[in-house]
Amino acid sequence: MKKSFLSIGIILTCVFALTACQTPNVANAPGQAANQCIAPWMENPEQVEDGITGSGRANLMDPSLSKQAADARARTEVANAILVQVSALFTNFQHQAGDNKEGQYALVVGSVIKQVLHQILQGCKIIKRKSCPDGTVFSLAVIKKGKVKKIIRQFERFLNEEDMKQLSKAVDELAYGK
């Protein structure tokens, strides 16, 4: 009788232990993890009055590196949006500029574009940041359209008046609150 109580006790203990260790099955939407942390501006891009915004995200081993990477990615997103417009107009300038010195103009245009990009990246400000428990960091960068136009005006000697108007219009279209 003692052996049967002991056997039943061992069996119940094993069943209880196995049941207690089982992880619950949580139903998630397809492609979503439980307790997913995301910045609101990643789901619904935030509009800043007279500003061009970009968002970035990073999840690296070191939290400070995640912050730096998220900030850099947000700034790069802003710069890329502007750079597409700038590159197109400077390429038009290069093709209109001359036949014999095309290589020289290509170097000048490449240098100007790099300078514009550098100044835009420097002019971007991180206005929001969110850190999640899993180490993911989200950043939101903005640059005011007036600042972009001021940067671009420094290089107006490379563009004709019509190209400057087109570039100004493109910056206005990129910015919220035209």
Determine the pLDDT at residue 19.
Answer: 45
Determine the pLDDT at residue 80.
Answer: 87
The 3-state DSSP class for residue 108 equals helix
Determine the pLDDT at residue 97.
Answer: 53
Determine the pLDDT at residue 67.
Answer: 95
- Domains of the chain, first to last: 40-174 (3.10.129)
Determine the pLDDT at residue 62.
Answer: 92
Binned average pLDDT, 10 residues per bin, the chain of 178 residues? 54 48 43 69 82 92 94 91 74 54 60 79 91 94 88 74 78 71
Provide CB contacts within 8 A for 116, sequence distance 6+.
82, 83, 86, 151, 152, 155
Determine the pLDDT at residue 148.
Answer: 85
Determine the pLDDT at residue 16.
Answer: 47
Distance separating alpha carbons of residues 157 and 143, to the nearest angstrom: 23
